[in-house]
Amino acid sequence: ALAIWHQLTKSEIPELAKASVLMRDRSRVEETIQAMQRAGPDALQVISDFDMTLSRFAHNGKRCPTTHNILDNDLLINDACKKMIRELLNTYYPIEIDATRTVEEKLPHMVEWWTSVHELLIQQKIRRDLLAQAVKQSSAMLREGYKVFFDRLQEQQVPLLIFSAGLGDILEEVIRQNHVFHPNVHVISNYMDFDQSGVLRAFKGQLIHTFNKRECALLHAAHFRELKERPNVLLLGDSLGDLTMADGVAHTQHALTIGFLNDQVEERKESYVNSYDIVLVKDETMDIPNAILNYIT
Ligand code: C5P
Ligand code: MG
């Protein structure tokens, strides 16, 4: 049986043998991929985080912006506000990724971070008609191979849920400008609420931050109900909080989780390998998800 287990890595999906691919239990991963392949694309749904998962963490050694950071543009906010948002990032991002703190300890800080930034954005009276231009001027980039990923899911009619604690309006604009906002793509995120003149006045619905995706998944139960005949889930994320994005799927048969480990690699490697089925270390491409999708669909 051993020989069969490792056949996938050797022949069908050689990408899984790369040094940047870590797995706690390679046999289980291979069995899951094989079971998903037998069930086919009709049984599959993909649930993915956006910032630093579908979008790049870095390019040529420079950090790429999150959807929030795309707003760091003179078109939208003044210098004083930029400075405050950067200070908040410098305070709270280290807490978000701190391997020594529990999720419970991080929670109140995340709520504080998101709430403060959203209040600042509302004060800036951001105009809806300038968002597309801000996205164009930004250095936001999707991971290499993103087009193959999105196009294949669309061709196979596999639903893709993008579940993001970032900004939905910006996220949609990024995928639209990259020509991959296909009809099979659904987004759960923080959306801006504009007044009649197109000026930001609030955020809609329940705030989504890195560590409450489980509650938000349950709130959006209707979305998952529509997909109940798709019991196999491929989940992509870059934060440990992303692992709860599939908690709205009622009867999961096979789930495979892929985690991008972008930052603080040594500090976080162990917890990522213990939590995600496949961990991709400093991999700015969609090569592994694409290779797996190519095999199972
Ligand atoms: O799409 P995703 O759920 O990854 O979006 C959340 C990410 O956005 C977080 O990982 C966080 O680091 C980042 N963020 C940010 N600025 C904020 C709030 C969150 O860059 N004000
Ligand atoms: Mg992310």
133-173 confidence digits (pLDDT tens):
999 999 999 999 999 999 999 999 999 999 999 999 999 99
With 50 as the cut, is the pLDDT of residue 254 above it?
A: yes
With 60 as the cut, is the pLDDT of residue 282 above it?
A: yes
- Using CA positions, which residue lies closest to atom 17 of ligand 1? 68
Q: Using CA of residue 248, residue 237, residue 140, residue 95, what is the dihedral sign?
A: positive
In this structure, how many other beta carbons lie within 10 angstroms of the beta carbon of residue 144?
A: 15
End-to-end CA distance of the chain: 24
In this structure, how many other beta carbons lie within 10 angstroms of the beta carbon of residue 2?
A: 7
Q: Which atom, in ligand 1's list, is nearest to the CA of 53?
A: 4
- pLDDT tens column, 28-67: 999 999 999 999 999 999 999 999 999 999 999 999 999 9
Q: How far is ligand 1, taken at its centre, from the CA of residue 142, in Å?
A: 15
Find out whether the beta carbon of 66 lies less than 6 Å from any atom of ligand 1: yes
**Which residues lie across from 188 on neighbouring strands?**
163
At 14 the pLDDT is 92
Q: How far is ligand 2, taken at its centre, from the CA of residue 52, in Å?
A: 5
Q: Which atom, in ligand 1's list, is nearest to the CA of 241?
A: 3
Q: How much is the pTM?
A: 0.97
How high does pLDDT run on average in the chain?
A: 96
At 9 the pLDDT is 72
Query: What whole-number distance in Å separates Cα of residue 43 and Cα of residue 46?
Result: 10
What integer is the mean pLDDT of 103-127? 98
- pLDDT tens column, 203-224: 999 999 999 999 999 999 999 9
- Using CA positions, which residue lies closest to atom 14 of ligand 1? 68
Q: Which atom, in ligand 1's list, is nearest to the CA of 66?
A: 20
Find out whether the beta carbon of 50 lies less than 6 Å from any atom of ligand 1: yes
What integer is the mean pLDDT of 86-103? 97
- Using CA positions, which residue lies closest to atom 9 of ligand 1? 210
In this structure, how many other beta carbons lie within 10 angstroms of the beta carbon of residue 246?
A: 22
- Using CA positions, which residue lies closest to atom 15 of ligand 1? 68
Among this protein's residues, is 277 annotated catalytic?
no
At 1 the pLDDT is 46
| CA-closest candidate to residue 284, choices 54, 8, 118, 81 | 54
Find out whether the beta carbon of 149 lies less than 6 Å from any atom of ligand 1: no
Find out whether the beta carbon of 114 lies less than 6 Å from any atom of ligand 1: yes
Among this protein's residues, is 98 annotated catalytic?
no
Q: Which atom, in ligand 1's list, is nearest to the CA of 69?
A: 20
Q: Using CA of residue 207, residue 208, residue 213, residue 216, what is the dihedral sign?
A: positive
Q: How far is ligand 1, taken at its centre, from the CA of residue 166, in Å?
A: 5
- For the chain, percent of residues with pLDDT exceeding 70: 97
Contacts of 162 (CB under 8 A, 6+ apart): 48, 49, 50, 54, 171, 175, 185, 186, 187, 188, 189
